[in-house]
Amino acid sequence: MSELFQVRVEGVGFAAAHFATYGGRSEPLHGHDYAVAAQVDGTLDTNAWVIDFGEVKAILRGICKEVDHRFLLQRDSRVLAIDATEAAWNVRTPDGIDYVLPRQDVIALPIDNTTAERLAEWFCERVLQTLRERRADNVRAVTIEVWEGPQQRASYRREAGLTSG
């Protein structure tokens, strides 16, 4: 069995607005200065590293740029009534609050809720997708942490499934 090593990067983030839903209700619209960290587990490649720190940071920065200064819309919500027009996203909460959000200010994420847990999962899937495209066959797992603020974070870990054996 091969030895596994871990590479971890921090210090990447974005600012965004959202509201999560819970118990059939929605919390008030608000924002966070999110921080994102990534841990990549794997075997050493021919360079004697799992992956270059700079490469992981660049992947995270690219994803963060997509969501930075946007409203995070939980496109697959089970409780929000969502209608997209050419110019806007119309969102009705279970509490009867209607939001009309300009399309250019919204990123519609394929998640059911904009919790830190679901954001960590979404980030993790995106990182893994990029690593697959780059054929990082030595990567065994990726863990993403999403911080909503000091002392509150969620994480998601997924086995990479990049290897054939």
**Residues 6-37: tens digit of each pLDDT:** 999 999 999 999 999 999 899 999 999 999 99
Q: Output phi, psi for 127, to 5 deg.
A: -60, -45
Would you say residue 165 has pLDDT above 50? Answer: no
pLDDT in tens, 137-152: 999 999 999 999 889 9
Q: Which structural domains are found in the chain, ordered by start?
A: 5-159 (3.30.479.10)
Q: What is the DSSP letter of 122?
A: H
Which pLDDT does position 164 carry in this prediction? 41
C-alpha span between 52 and 82 (Å, rounded): 41
Query: How many CA atoms within 13 Å lie on the side-chain side of 46?
Result: 2
pTM to 2 decimal places: 0.94
pLDDT in tens, 79-130: 999 999 999 999 999 999 999 999 999 999 999 999 999 999 999 999 999 9
Sign of the CA dihedral 63, 117, 42, 8? positive
